[in-house]
Amino acid sequence: MLGPAAPDNDRDTLPEGGTGIAALDIPSLPVAQARAFALVATSRPAVDELEALVDTDPALTASVLRAANSARSAPVDRIATARTATIRIGIEETRRIVLGTALRGAFDLAPSGIDLDELWRHLVACAIIADTLAEDSGQHTQAFTAGLLHDLGRLAMAAQDPHHYAEVVEQVRDGEDAVAAERAVFATTHVEWGVVVAGKWELPDELVDAVASHHLPAASGLGGYVWRARQAAHRLGIGDGVSPPPAPSPDGDRARAATLGRQVTNLSAHIAEQRGEPDATVGHGGGTEHLMTQIEWYRGALQRAA
């Protein structure tokens, strides 16, 4: 079951290092987030299960209703209930929004110096693109989850010690590599710490492997899809909230992004048809434009209420 207890042995913390900060502890999921993760991280719940979950948490309700009432979803009448919203946008889209909202609600990153809009744009982009790349493997649902969770270690580090993570951000802005800056400050990296957190949260092995390998070009399985999704997000000009995207090579990058966008459009339509669900992508074009619309739709749904 997801949602760990507090650290209970020496493996759950890291020794002091780098600048000599206190050891990091494994974060525990709040009850509401733990319930959401347990239901949606690896399974496809029924409408009744999703409705019951969403109705018990104001943040989940707000996210699902935002998505269902968005211009992209184009409801005839304003949607006011979790059940109607789930039927409108589909079970799979609702599951993904619940997962993202639970993840975002588990971590307060405001004082860390991370560009939060760009961070969540990055995570959503990687989730959508990994999902698309994995279409033929039968792993597209898991690939979406892996894309959303791959920077789990960064979220945990920045939430627990935001002031020291702000030092990481400052070093990166001065030209340092983000992973090297994390090691200098924390004596570990977001990749290594993410593996520890994912293991303690009892995420499936394939998701833990994706967290471990998302920076490795030779990664296979879900980690390989996430690595490729990160590269594609960079080509779209999306950074990760800490490091900016590399300078683009315009012609080749535009062509690859347009191809990927068309794949996203086709996959969305195919999934909607197979599941008998409405295709929220209809009327929004294809190629890069559709891909960016998809990214912003998810990101908007996950946005914290002001």
| pLDDT tens digit sequence for 112-160 | 999 999 999 999 999 999 988 888 787 878 999 999 999 999 999 999 9
Is residue 178 within 8 Å of 168, Cβ to Cβ? yes
Is residue 17 within 8 Å of 164, Cβ to Cβ? no
Q: 108-300: which CATH architecture?
A: Orthogonal Bundle (1.10)
Centre a 10 Å sphere on the Cβ of residue 193 and count the other Cβ atoms it contains. 23
In whole angstroms, give the CA distance from residue 135 to residue 150. Answer: 19
Q: What is the pLDDT of residue 305?
A: 46
Q: What is the pLDDT of residue 179?
A: 96
pLDDT per residue as tens digits for the range 148-191: 999 999 999 999 999 999 999 999 999 999 999 999 999 999 99
Q: What is the pLDDT of residue 284?
A: 43
Integer distance in angstroms from the first to the last C-alpha of the chain?
A: 32
Q: What is the pLDDT of residue 255?
A: 62
In whole angstroms, give the CA distance from residue 140 to residue 189. Answer: 27
HSE-up of residue 242 (Cα within 13 Å, Cβ side): 25
Question: Percent of the chain at pLDDT above 70?
Answer: 76
Q: What is the DSSP letter of 13?
A: B
Q: What is the pLDDT of residue 152?
A: 97
Choose among 190, 184, 149, 168: nearest CA to 42: 149
Structural domain boundaries in the chain: 27-106, 108-300
CA distances from 210 to 23, 38, 62, 140, 229 (A): 25, 19, 30, 13, 12
Q: What is the pLDDT of residue 306?
A: 36
pLDDT per residue as tens digits for the range 9-51: 333 444 444 543 446 888 888 888 888 888 887 777 888 999 9
Backbone angles phi, psi at 228, to 5 degrees: -65, -35
Residues 6+ apart with CB under 8 A from 254: 288
HSE-up of residue 67 (Cα within 13 Å, Cβ side): 35
Residue 53 pLDDT class (50, 70, 90 cuts): very high
pLDDT per residue as tens digits for the range 228-273: 999 889 888 899 999 998 765 555 555 666 666 565 556 555 545 5
In whole angstroms, give the CA distance from residue 117 to residue 109. Answer: 11
pLDDT per residue as tens digits for the range 61-92: 999 999 998 867 666 788 999 999 999 899 98
